[in-house]
Structure 1
Amino acid sequence: MPEPSGVLEMPIVRKREQEPPPEVIRGPSGTVQRSVLVNVDPVQLPGDLVVPAVSVGIAIFAHGSGSSRRSPRNVQVARRLNEAGVATLLFDLLTLAEAEDRTNVFDIELLARRLEGAEEWLHRWPQAGTVPVAFFGASTGAAAALVAAARLGARVAAVVSRGGRPDLAGEALPRVTAPTLLIVGGDDTEVLGLNRRAEARMRCERRLEVIPGATHLFEEPGALERVAELAAEWFSGHLLEAGQGRRATSATLFL
């Protein structure tokens, strides 16, 4: 059967034909939200998956040290991405027990493996293999996103770093092929310097965007909103390009 208007369609399998499973929440605009467990051997990590009625791809979030999938800043950015037609997966990179060990919080290699595992888990879903994937990382999560992107290559369509520590990605930086947007506050002097040096080491398409007057957490009026807008623009363009103009429906990911 031909695809209508370039949109991938497939039925949603439900226990009851007349209503969705209890863990699925449907918004008035057709956006669907589902609580998930991301299976990354040997652990299961709780996550929140949100898919607009029609999306260009999905952004997997990597939170910073001492944070979780509930990070209010990441949640705010994710909401804007959803409005722009980008699906989002926010999940905990560590179990509660793992997070108690501070060495795990700063273990970039471990965090990168969790992101790679999440990308692999997502594509185990039938039909989700056609959906382009991007990474959004904050603080240390940005370093993990870059390391994972370097290893996954063309499987990652784009990366956005918010107040990130790309320097912690080390030798992975020159190997990143995904178009990368580095967003830093203008008053976050030390991190801005680290990002400038990291950008110089990268060989992929990249851009350093400085938010004037913003500090590390982008708490200033309008600063985080600007971050969200920049991320939405970056992801929308690159995910659409990676998907060759095709858009997926929420049914593609909610089976």
Structure 2
Amino acid sequence: MDEQRSTVTIPVGDVQLPADLMLPAQPIGVVLFAHGSGSSRHSPRNVAVARTLNGRGLGTVLVDLLTPTEDEVDARTAELRFDIGLLATRLAGIVDWLAVERPAGDVPIGLFGASTGAAAALVAAASRADRVGAVVSRGGRPDLAGAALAQVRTPTLLLVGGLDEEVIALNEQALAELGEVGELRVVPGATHLFEERGTLDQVADHAGTWFTTHLSRTTAPSHRS
């Protein structure tokens, strides 16, 4: 499969955010990744999942939601990585950029969030219901999305490791708020980071099926002025 790889800088508000794009020749959709606390767009787990999605005909966008300067501050204080409002606002801005600039073409958009990035993805999905067609959370903290959970209208898959008991409980609470748009799947034998053999492959497979199924039912995003 012919693929186009590129690194771009995406303007969001008053910042410029670096992102890695991987686009199959004829993508059926594009998935924007929101990494977890203390991670980056180079996260090996997210990169591995992205490769699986690419193989299913989905474009992927892995982006750093903090600028290099902000990341240096966050490395000392660990405050910005938990600023769900800030991260969600930037994700929503990137969704808008994808819809207007259309680097993947006029295709549906999905969000993949890990850890705290999952909360930001859900808040962004709630604010961009007309543009986001599916959400997947990996070992996420969807509970941190707060009141936005009840406003999500986008099909959302919550993936949690079977040995990650505390996070399972938090995801069950979030699932109750999501209602009928949410689904929780537990990956047996997996801890929080899905480091056990074969468990990340299961995450990628679940995510790929979720996105190809739900994005195929979604019309391309509308264009706001």
AA aligned opposite 2:34: A
- Could you tell me how far 1:30 is from its partner in structure 2? 1.0
Give the TM-score, by structure 1 length: 0.82
Task: Select which of 88, 94, 116 maps to 2:66.
Answer: 94
Q: Which residue of 2 aligns with 1:73?
A: 45
1:170 aligned counterpart, secondary structure: helix
Separation of aligned partners in 1, 2:107 and 2:4:
16
RMSD: 1.4
Equivalent residue for 2:28?
56
Name the CA distance, whole Å, in 2 between partners of 1:227 and 1:34: 25
Counterpart for residue 151 of structure 1? 127
Other-structure match for 1:163? 139
Q: How does 1:1-80 map to 2 (within 5 A)?
A: 29-80=1-52
Deviates more, 1:94-103 or 1:37-46: 94-103
Q: Matches of 1:152 and 1:203 in 2, distance apart?
A: 18
Which of 196, 207, 215 is residue 172 of structure 2 equivalent to?
Answer: 196
**Alignment check: 8 A CA contact 1:184 1:192 kept:** yes
- Answer whether contact 1:176 1:203 (CA < 8 A) is retained: no
One-letter amino acid of the counterpart of residue 16, structure 2: Q
Residue 170 of structure 1: how far off its partner (Å): 0.4
Letter in 2 for 1:163: G
**Moved runs in structure 1, 4+ residues, more than 4 A?**
126-129
Distance (Å, rounded) in 2 between the aligned partners of 1:155 and 1:115: 12
Q: Is 1:238 aligned to residue 214 of structure 2?
A: yes
Which stretch of the first structure deviates more once superposed, 103-112 or 198-207? 198-207
Contact 2:133 2:215 (8 Å CA) reproduced? yes
CA distance in structure 1 between the partners assigned to 2:127 and 2:67 by the alignment = 23
Aligned residue identity for 2:155? P
Identical counterparts, % of pairs: 56
Separation in structure 2 between the aligned mates of residue 229 and residue 239 of structure 1, nearest angstrom: 15
Residues 126-182 of structure 1: per-residue CA shift (max 9 Å, x gap): 586731101000000000000000111121100000000000000000100110000
C-alpha distance in 1 between matches for 2:151 and 2:101: 28
| TM-score, with length taken from structure 2 | 0.93
Q: Which residue of 1 aligns with 2:54?
A: 82
Q: Are the equivalent residues in 1 in contact too, given 2:111–2:134 (CA < 8 A)?
A: yes
1:112 has 2:88 as partner:
yes
CA distance in 1, matches of 2:103, 2:198: 38
In structure 2, list runs of 5 or more residues that go unmatched: 221-225
Q: CA deviation at 1:123?
A: 2.1
CA distance in 2, matches of 1:233, 1:243: 18
Using CA pairs below 8 Å that are at least 6 residues apart, which structure has the higher relative contact order?
A: 1
Worse overlay, 30-39 or 121-130: 121-130
Secondary structure in 1 aligned to 2:42?
coil
